[in-house]
Amino acid sequence: KKSRNNDKKILWDATERNENGKAKILDVVVVGCGLPKANIGWFHLMQLLQMPNVQIRAVVEPYYLDRERCPHPPPSFVDFMGTLVDMDIPCYYHVGQLEPFRRPTLCILSGRTSENPKFFRECLGLGATHIYLEAPGAPTVSQLREMKTLADTRGVRVYMGYQTLAAKYVENAVALSRSIPNSHVFFCHNDTNQSADLHKIFFRHPEGLLRSMASYDLAILVSQYKVTANLIEKFKVNTNRLFSERKTFRNNAQGKELTDYSRVAFKITTKKGQHVSVMADRCGGLVSFAVVKNHKGEEIRRFESHDQSEVSDVRRQIKEDKEMNRQFIVQADDFLELKRRIVTGILSGKDDGRALELMNVVGIGEGIDVLILADYCTKEIDAVLKAGDGG
């Protein structure tokens, strides 16, 4: 009951602000809510409810609300849905149950990647004017291209959920690197998983490290440095096992075997002479960082995602709420800032291509380039590590 009462207070506060406020308000529909504290759709919803310029018009959960697919949903989910219903927020199991949109509407698509193309078409059919697409957006490049074509035809703006670009440490590193001729930037993206849980992570993200965790760093390269696969002159993998490691896990229950990276590091040199490096480590810890170097390879400055005070606060929150997905705690500010920029841009009418670039928001066009780059990197890294028995 305590959890439900807390959720109700959040919703009441949000409703009061939205009804009494004089500012413009954007209608938002969340598709793919998932479970409380576990899935990104739920986390988006909780943050959106705290935004005074947003009105949640509906929530769609295609699995847990479908009695045929899930006859006995978890109590935490049932409780949360009850809270939403109490606050007159409609909840459905299928997008087709919604009435056509009559006002500008942003649809947040946060279901499984394989289901995104279907949700995308359904939301466009209802008249969505804007779509927030959780990365990587679609299982294949061709599907994402088809989605872009469909959105362009209908004049719908599509944003990709690459929240790392809204992180201060990334923005500061990019700004400094642009002021230094022939600079080299190294982005290190760490996550807080335990090595004992890697098998779960692998099967939870069968699309692979480069298309999941590392894609956020590739989005930085694409959007901020215009690095695309066709412009790469040299691709060098750090084969030291401390930096790059391949592992294979078997799911005996499913009879499936999956090989992927627990961590990987590489350097890209473009045909324009740019030098950028990336490392993604699923068990690297809480703090991510970016290092800017001069043309001699000397470190100019290091920017970290969290200072010592913030690290202590995050660790406290993780300890106090062990059920919460750690990524939500670690990157809460980045998630919120990206949504704030998108909503503000939509309401102000400043959400065209140039505006997105200034806000460091990735559109679906660049999202396609990210996916192509991820596939390129995967192929190159596989070739090197397999040849050197690096796994």
Report whether pLDDT(235) > 50. yes
The pLDDT of residue 76: 96
The pLDDT of residue 265: 98
**Predicted confidence band of residue 20 (pLDDT cuts 50, 70, 90):** very low
Report whether pLDDT(391) > 70. no
The pLDDT of residue 21: 46
Percent of the chain with pLDDT over 90: 85
The pLDDT of residue 151: 98
Report whether pLDDT(18) > 60. no
Report whether pLDDT(3) > 70. no
**Predicted confidence band of residue 191 (pLDDT cuts 50, 70, 90):** very high
**Predicted confidence band of residue 8 (pLDDT cuts 50, 70, 90):** very low
- Residue 98's nearest CA partner among 116, 117, 124 is 124
**Predicted confidence band of residue 17 (pLDDT cuts 50, 70, 90):** very low
Q: What is the pLDDT of residues 85-108, one digit of tens each?
A: 999 999 999 999 999 999 999 999
What CA–CA distance (Å, rounded) separates 95 from 109? 11
Report whether pLDDT(273) > 60. yes
The pLDDT of residue 357: 80
Mean confidence (pLDDT) of the chain = 92
Q: What is the pLDDT of residues 277-334, one digit of tens each?
A: 999 999 999 999 999 999 999 999 999 999 999 999 999 999 999 999 999 999 999 9
**Predicted confidence band of residue 2 (pLDDT cuts 50, 70, 90):** very low
The pLDDT of residue 218: 98
Report whether pLDDT(4) > 60. no
Report whether pLDDT(390) > 60. no
